[in-house]
């Protein structure tokens, strides 16, 4: 437990990181550093997008799988790492 | 033999009934009378001769007359051809009997008046009573007699034409006589018992008759072709359903996202899987985040490079260029300009307030002369540098004035005697707009010129008199130095609480003056006077109020009775007395936000100007009707005469004892400047950054930071008279000096001295106002002490912001704030240290003096110490076991 905390904290304290969210396979947030409404929104939307991206990758090559997804809006960058059961979302502002 | 005559429906049976066998007597053919009678006509001579005169001898009832044959013959002999009987001579001669019957045919049944019966039978019949028989026969015979073409056909023998053969063929007749058979059997054979026996059908030939089945070829024929027609039709099916619709009902659903409860979250966090997942995934994140930190891959260097170089060529000249200057010899001679304002909507129109250039004593001395010279606000237009376009008349010198943001035709000004003045220039707006294009020749075309002031010369500049003025006793007691409109988003109630503004337009004004008051005014009619206003309105309707000077009636309800809504005083914090504000600045104000281009503003104003509000009809609503707004900051900064900046709240509090409203003491006060504070302005980019200019320095403050100014400039050589933020660059500000210089400070470039200094005029600069005409033209209006208005054009370097300028500035301000905070902390620490040090010193000083010890005593003490030490040493060595046995110790 402490390990998990420590790792997440390490990610969170990087320069420019706005927030981190841990989401389970169904899109329900487990742990977050942002406020509730934002978290719920991010979790729901990114969960769907990740599923779609993953299915795309696998359609192209069934032996392939999605490891990392980076979305770059104008204001900041969203990074998503999917797994079988969980999803980790990090939002970072790359350059001030 | 006898042919029957076809019946005729037109027969008319007249009483003549004949027997059927009469026909056999004499068949009729063709002619209309039977054969045994002969109609004839007798002349009157003949009638006399034979004694059968009509209607005398013979009548209808007795028509019969017997004539002797011999007479007739004799008559015939005598008269030969002339005799009436000649046609029937032969008949008469053939007559068997001697007497002939002559019948008088009164009704001309047979075509003549008489007829002669030719046969004896007929005679008999006629004479004998005739029985009615065979009506049909009569009927039959009658028409035939009528139709008679005077020819009776004789029965002819039947001529065979061969038709009987067919009949014979068809008819069934016996071709031979019928045969008769008689069959008999012996009687004893009847009723004998019957014996059955079997017989094989196959034994005998022809014992049976077989009907073998065979394949009928007719049924094995295969139809190879078939000619049929096919038609496709849509498969239509009509059905209906009945929905039971009673009434519409609006339904709603409410959903919320699924979330885990706290325990579940804890469980998840504890799970092994999550740990593994996070560990495996973290490295990817590290890489990605670090990548982002190192450099921003999407940053367009090429584009950023071009931004700085696009002004190449123009960059060489960073100076403000003179664009135009306005002076009026007639109106602004010997006068100075106190305030400038650009017209919000009309391009190229600028208004200046012209005031006397006299000190206080001179004013008093020359007051009579001053009364004759009215004070004015001049409207200049770029198209006409010589003549002002419009003059606004003021009751006294105006030190500050503002256009109403929601209706640019309303101008409010604050006078030297403490009055607040309102003008309405809606009648002259077209002229102002028109002169822009036509060059000032259309002034005469406007016949709205006032009757009172109309001069004979057509080119006289129109003068607009103020339409409302506050009461002298109600207003300020000192010249009003700052006046501002409150934005149309909120309005202030009697207690100072900001409420929502239902009208959406600017209706309230805030003024300040060195009489230690800040006042809030409302341009609507107060509620109390509603009944009176109605009465007054009725009176007005009776006789239309003639404006003696052509002043519009917009603010008639306020004239001379106008009172401020709220009076906020600024009591001093520590001592008694009050602060005397010269300039104020509110957080939500209308003065500092000119960052939009003119097009936007014009668009906004076009939207609003559709509905010119009827100010006379607006009423101040009661405080209960409106909703108070929470997010409006009610604090304002005021710069005072003594060079202080005061931060206070304008909300009034109620004193419980006396029930009077009073204003709270200001929360903060800072003494910064060495002279009067002449500018308090907020930055158009940062709502909480305030610039104050006064004395020889200027300072930048941040709202909420109460330690002091975050930036304070060094003292300059000459006094700073006025300052203003640049409208397009967050880091640039303009400071006007006493010697006519304009200092351009670029805070990102240099903070210890201005980045640029330019001399505009020879005397003190009194006001600076920048204006954005278009993206390519930014103008700066500068007025000086001599009454000249200079319009300068801001060069490209000073008007286009560098990239991230706002961000840099905000960072800079934050750094400064941090510096202040740090300094404060250090100061505290230092103070504490100092205190401690002093306490220490004090303590030392106050300690009792210990008498000096004797030398022997010191020696004794030292020896004792040494012995103690030796014993300690032995003890320790003994404990450690290092000391050899005491018995063995040799001293």
What pLDDT does B145 receive?
53
| Mean local confidence (pLDDT), B209-223 | 81
Sign of the CA dihedral running A37, A43, A46, A49: negative
Considering chain B, what is the average pLDDT of its residues?
75
| Mean local confidence (pLDDT), B241-258 | 83
Q: Is A96 on the interface with B (CB under 8 A)?
A: yes
pLDDT digits (tens, 9 = 90+) for A63-88: 999 999 999 888 888 999 998 888 99
What pLDDT does A78 receive?
92
CA B579 to chain centre: 53
Q: What homologous superfamily does CATH list for A16-92?
A: Dynein light chain 2a, cytoplasmic (3.30.450.30)
Task: Give the Cα separation of A81 and A23 in Å (integer).
Answer: 10
| Mean local confidence (pLDDT), B69-79 | 76
Q: How confident is the model at residue B246 (pLDDT cuts 50, 70, 90)?
A: confident
Q: How confident is the model at residue B672 (pLDDT cuts 50, 70, 90)?
A: confident
What pLDDT does B55 receive?
66
Cβ A77–B292 below 8 Å, yes or no?
yes
pLDDT digits (tens, 9 = 90+) for B754-791: 888 888 888 888 888 888 888 778 888 888 888 888 88
Cβ A22–B258 below 8 Å, yes or no?
no
Q: How confident is the model at residue B324 (pLDDT cuts 50, 70, 90)?
A: confident
Task: Give the Cα separation of B680 and B586 in Å (integer).
Answer: 10
The CB density around residue B784, as the number of other CB atoms within 10 Å, is: 22
Task: Give the Cα separation of B782 and B789 in Å (integer).
Answer: 6
CA nearest B611: which of B727, B529, B505?
A: B505
- Look at B12-16, B485-489, B674-678 and tell me which has the smallest mean pLDDT: B12-16
| Cβ within 8 Å of residue B829, ≥6 positions away | none
Residue A93 pLDDT greater than 70, yes or no: yes
Q: How confident is the model at residue B543 (pLDDT cuts 50, 70, 90)?
A: very low
For residue B300, the distance in angstroms to the closest alpha carbon of chain A comes to: 13
Cβ A88–B278 below 8 Å, yes or no?
yes
Q: How confident is the model at residue B607 (pLDDT cuts 50, 70, 90)?
A: very low
Cβ A79–B285 below 8 Å, yes or no?
yes
Size of interface A-B (CB pairs under 8 A): 88
Task: Give the Cα separation of A88 and A47 in Å (integer).
Answer: 10
| Cβ within 8 Å of residue B84, ≥6 positions away | B40, B41, B42, B43, B46
Report residue B762 as tokens: 């020879």
Q: How confident is the model at residue B658 (pLDDT cuts 50, 70, 90)?
A: low
> Which secondary structure element, helix H or strand E, spans residue B645, and what is its range?
strand B644-649
Q: Is A44 on the interface with B (CB under 8 A)?
A: yes
Of A7, A30, A94, the CB nearest to B282: A7
Q: pTM to 2 decimals?
A: 0.54
Residue B130 pLDDT greater than 90, yes or no: no
Residue B581 pLDDT greater than 50, yes or no: yes
Question: With a CB-CB cutoff of 8 Å, which residues 58-77 of chain A face chain B?
Answer: 67-68, 70, 72, 77
Task: Give the Cα separation of B820 and B708 in Å (integer).
Answer: 8
What pLDDT does B622 receive?
66
CB B469 within 8 A of CB B420: yes
Cβ A81–B281 below 8 Å, yes or no?
yes
Report residue B270 as tokens: 């504890």
Cβ A22–B278 below 8 Å, yes or no?
yes
User: ipTM surpassing 0.90, yes or no?
Assistant: no
**Residue B635 Cα distances to A35, B493, B497, B697, B795, angstroms:** 31, 15, 11, 24, 36
CA nearest B53: which of B124, B121, B1, B102?
A: B102
- Look at B33-37, B206-210, B461-465, B683-687 and tell me which has the smallest mean pLDDT: B33-37
| Mean local confidence (pLDDT), B572-593 | 75
What pLDDT does B445 receive?
38
Of all residues in chain A, the one with the smallest CA distance to B270 is A1
Residue B302 pLDDT greater than 90, yes or no: no
Cβ A1–B292 below 8 Å, yes or no?
no
pLDDT digits (tens, 9 = 90+) for B330-356: 777 778 888 888 888 888 888 888 887
Q: Three-state DSSP class for B710?
A: coil
Report residue B63 as tokens: 């028509």
Please give the angle made by the CA atoms of B248, B251 and B257, to the nearest 5 degrees. 165
Residue B715 pLDDT greater than 80, yes or no: yes
Residue B609 pLDDT greater than 60, yes or no: no
Of all residues in chain B, the one with the smallest CA distance to A20 is B285
What pLDDT does B832 receive?
92
Q: How confident is the model at residue B852 (pLDDT cuts 50, 70, 90)?
A: low
């Amino acid at each position: 437990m402490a390990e998990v905390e420590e790792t997440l904290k390490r990610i969170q304290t990087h320069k420019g990181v706005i927030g981190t969210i841990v989401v389970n396979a169904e899109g329900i947030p487990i742990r977050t550093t942002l406020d509730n409404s934002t978290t719920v929104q991010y979790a729901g939307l990114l969960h769907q997008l990740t599923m779609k991206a993953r299915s795309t990758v696998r359609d192209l090559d069934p032996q392939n799988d999605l490891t990392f997804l980076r979305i770059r809006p104008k204001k900041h960058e969203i990074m998503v790492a999917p797994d079988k059961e969980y999803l980790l979302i990090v939002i970072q502002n790359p350059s001030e | 033999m006898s042919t029957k005559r076809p019946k005729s429906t037109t027969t008319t049976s007249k009483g003549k009934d004949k027997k059927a066998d009469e026909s056999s007597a004499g068949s009729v053919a063709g002619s209309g009378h039977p054969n045994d009678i002969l109609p004839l006509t007798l002349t009157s001579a003949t009638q006399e001769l034979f004694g059968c005169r009509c209607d005398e001898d013979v009548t209808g009832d007795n028509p019969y007359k017997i004539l002797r044959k011999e007479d007739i013959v004799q008559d015939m002999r005598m008269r030969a051809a002339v005799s009436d009987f000649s046609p029937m001579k032969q008949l008469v001669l053939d007559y068997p009997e001697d007497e002939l019957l002559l019948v008088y045919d009164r009704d001309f049944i047979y075509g003549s008046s008489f007829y002669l019966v030719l046969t004896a039978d007929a005679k008999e019949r006629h004479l004998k009573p005739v029985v009615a028989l065979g009506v049909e026969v009569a009927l039959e015979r009658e028409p035939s007699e009528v139709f008679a073409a005077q020819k009776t056909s004789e029965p002819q023998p039947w001529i065979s034409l061969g038709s009987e053969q067919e009949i014979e063929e068809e008819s069934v007749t016996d071709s031979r006589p019928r045969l008769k058979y008689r069959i008999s059997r012996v009687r004893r054979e009847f009723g004998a018992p019957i014996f059955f026996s079997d017989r094989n059908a196959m034994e005998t030939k022809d014992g049976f008759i077989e009907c073998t089945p065979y394949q009928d070829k007719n049924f094995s024929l295969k139809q190879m072709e078939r000619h049929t027609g096919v038609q496709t039709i849509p498969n239509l099916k009509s059905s209906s359903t009945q929905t039971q619709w009673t009434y519409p009902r609006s339904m709603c659903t409410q959903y919320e996202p699924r979330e885990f409860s706290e325990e579940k979250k804890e469980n998840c966090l504890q799970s092994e899987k999550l740990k593994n997942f996070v560990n495996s995934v973290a490295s990817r994140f590290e890489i990605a985040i670090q990548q982002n930190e190192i450099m921003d891959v999407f940053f367009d260097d090429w584009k950023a490079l071009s931004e700085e170089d696009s002004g190449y060529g123009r960059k060489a000249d960073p100076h403000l260029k003179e664009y135009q200057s306005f002076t009026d010899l007639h109106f602004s001679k010997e006068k100075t300009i106190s305030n400038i304002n650009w017209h919000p909507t009309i391009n190229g129109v600028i208004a200046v307030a012209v005031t006397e250039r006299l000190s206080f004593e001179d004013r008093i001395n020359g007051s009579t002369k001053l009364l004759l010279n009215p004070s004015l606000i001049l409207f200049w237009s770029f198209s006409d540098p010589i003549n002002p376009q419009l003059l606004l008349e003021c009751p006294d010198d105006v030190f500050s004035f503002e256009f109403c943001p929601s209706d640019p035709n309303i101008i409010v000004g604050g006078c030297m005697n403490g009055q607040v003045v309102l003008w309405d220039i809606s009648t002259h707006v077209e002229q102002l707009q028109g002169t822009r294009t036509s060059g000032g020749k259309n002034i005469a075309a406007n016949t709205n010129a006032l009757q009172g002031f109309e001069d004979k010369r057509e080119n006289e500049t129109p003068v607009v008199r103020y339409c409302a003025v506050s009461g002298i006793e109600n207003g300020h007691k000192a010249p009003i130095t700052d006046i501002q409109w409150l934005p149309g988003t909120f309005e202030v109630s009697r207690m100072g609480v900001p409420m929502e503004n239902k009208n959406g337009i600017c209706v309230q004004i805030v003024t300040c003056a060195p009489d230690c008051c800040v006042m809030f005014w409302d341009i609507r009619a107060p509620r109390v006077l509603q009944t009176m206003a109605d009465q007054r309105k009725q009176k007005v309707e009776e006789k239309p109020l003639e404006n003696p000077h052509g002043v519009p009636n917009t603010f008639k309800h306020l004239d001379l009775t106008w009172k401020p809504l709220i009076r906020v005083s600024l009591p001093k914090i520590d001592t008694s007395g009050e602060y005397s504000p010269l300039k104020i600045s509110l957080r939500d104000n209308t003065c500092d936000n000119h960052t939009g281009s003119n097009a936007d503003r014009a668009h906004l104003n076009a939207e609003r100007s559709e509905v010119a509000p009827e100010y006379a009809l607006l009423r101040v609503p009661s405080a209960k009707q409106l909703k108070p707004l929470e997010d409006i900051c009610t604090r304002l900064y005021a710069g005072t005469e003594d060079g202080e900046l005061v931060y206070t709240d304008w909300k009034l509090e109620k004193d419980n004892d006396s029930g009077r409203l009073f204003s709270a003491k200001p929360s903060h006060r800072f003494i910064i400047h060495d002279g009067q504070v002449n500018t308090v302005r907020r930055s158009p980019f940062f709502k909480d950054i305030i610039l104050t200019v006064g004395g020889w320095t200027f300072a930048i403050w941040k709202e909420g930071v109460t330690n002091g100014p975050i930036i304070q400039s060094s003292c300059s050589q000459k006094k700073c008279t006025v300052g203003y933020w640049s409208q397009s660059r967050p880091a640039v500000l303009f400071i006007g000096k006493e010697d006519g210089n304009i200092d351009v400070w670029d805070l990102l470039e240099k903070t210890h001295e201005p980045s640029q200094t330019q001399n505009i005029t020879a005397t003190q600069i009194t006001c600076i106002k920048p204006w954005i005409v278009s993206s390519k033209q930014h103008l700066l209006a500068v007025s000086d002490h001599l009454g000249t208005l200079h319009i300068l054009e801001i060069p490209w370097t000073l008007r286009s912001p560098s990239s991230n300028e706002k961000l840099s500035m905000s960072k800079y301000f934050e750094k400064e704030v941090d510096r202040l905070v740090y300094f404060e902390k250090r100061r505290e620490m230092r103070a504490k240290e100092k205190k401690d040090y002093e306490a220490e010193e004090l303590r030392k000083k106050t300690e009792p003096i210990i008498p000096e010890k004797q030398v022997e005593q010191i020696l004794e003490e030292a020896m004792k110490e040494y012995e103690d030490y030796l014993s300690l040493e032995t003890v320790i060595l003994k404990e450690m076991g290092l000391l050899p046995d005491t018995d063995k110790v040799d001293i």
